[in-house]
Amino acid sequence: KQEVTQIPAALSVPEGENLVLNCSFTDSAIYNLQWFRQDPGKGLTSLLLIQSSQREQTSGRLNASLDKSSGRSTLYIAASQPGDSATYLCAVEGTYKYIFGTGTRLKVLA
Amino acid sequence: DVKVTQSSRYLVKRTGEKVFLECVQDMDHENMFWYRQDPGLGLRLIYFSYDVKMKEKGDIPEGYSVSREKKERFSLILESASTNQTSMYLCASSLVFSGTVYEQYFGPGTRLTVT
């Protein structure tokens, strides 16, 4: 059974720092991996999707990488800003459904 | 832009009531999903649908049912609400692409409290 883990559960950093969020999964037979952002009390906003044949995807200050063989993905955030404060979730896709990690709660201090 | 809407942001219901949560998407997506989100447990899939009138159980279907009569609308039904169904409910939709589920888009969520 696929399990998805995100460590750390919470992270505080000063504004301007570059940071890396981690996502690991137990079964490497995945189709896609998607990173989301969730603000308190809100739904999820898609940030990046990496197909299983890809190694990374970039959008603005965000870069996500995927290493299927080691069961790991990282989300790199460059030059963090207070507006980046949110919970970040990764989800891996098996057949017809996604399995979610429990997220990393990020706080960027001004 | 894809838009997924949910009928209510907040709901308060009594134990034993029948509860309907509605979700509508405007991008002609084949797949639709219902999740619940609880602190420490993350998002868990309740049901999903890959076509009109088709449904599949997710990981925690007990106490729930669903209906998909039209492609754009997916309803979650709590037949007899219980306090352990107090949660945030999230709806999502996605295209099917190359035989796999493609990018998921989420609605704003419904926070349901059962008293």
Using CB atoms, pick whichever of B4, B90, B100 lies closest to residue A93: B100
Lowest mean pLDDT among A50-54, A95-99, B79-83: A95-99
pLDDT at B104: 87
**CA–CA distance from A91 to each of A69, A88, B28 (Å)?**
17, 10, 23
Give the nearest chain A residue to B46 (CA atoms).
A97
B9 Cβ contact list (under 8 Å, min separation 6): B108, B109, B110, B111
Question: In order along chain B (115 residues), what is the average pLDDT of each group of 10 residues?
Answer: 88 97 93 93 92 90 96 96 97 76 87 97
Residue A96 has pLDDT above 90, yes or no: no
Give pLDDT, residue B95: 80
In this complex, the residue of A36, A44, A96 whose CB is nearest that of residue B50 is: A96
- The answer to whether residue A94 scores a pLDDT higher than 90 is no
Predicted local distance difference test score (pLDDT) of residue A98? 87
Distance from CA of B31 to the nearest CA of A (A): 9
A5 CB within 8 Å of a chain B CB: no
The residue-averaged pLDDT of A35-44 equals 93
Rounded CA separation A42/A39 (Å): 5
pLDDT at B98: 54
Tokens of B50: 């890959």
Q: How many CB atoms lie within 10 A of CB B1?
A: 5
Q: What string of DSSP letters covers B10-21?
A: EEEE-TT--EEE
Within 8 A by CB and 6+ apart from A16, the residues are A79, A80
Q: How far apart are the first and last CA of chain A?
A: 41
Facing residue for A31 by CB, picked from B33, B43, B100? B100
Q: For residue A32, which of B35, B101, B105, B59 has the smallest C-alpha distance?
A: B101
Concatenate the DSSP letters of all residues of B15-80 into one string: TT--EEEEEEESS--SEEEEEEEETTTEEEEEEEESSTT--EE-S--TTEEEEEEETTEEEEEESS
Interface test with A, best of B11, B27, B31, B43 (most A CBs within 10 A): B43
Task: List the single best residue of A36, A49, A95, A102 to mutate versus B (max B Cβ within 10 A).
Answer: A102
Which among B79, B73, B31 is positioned nearest to B56, based on CA atoms? Answer: B31
Q: Which two tokens stand for residue B49?
A: 């649908």
Residue of chain A with shortest Cα separation from B106: A44
**Cα separation values, B100 from A3, A18, B29, B78, B103, Å:** 20, 33, 13, 29, 10
Residue-wise pLDDT tens digits, A5-24: 999 999 999 999 999 999 99
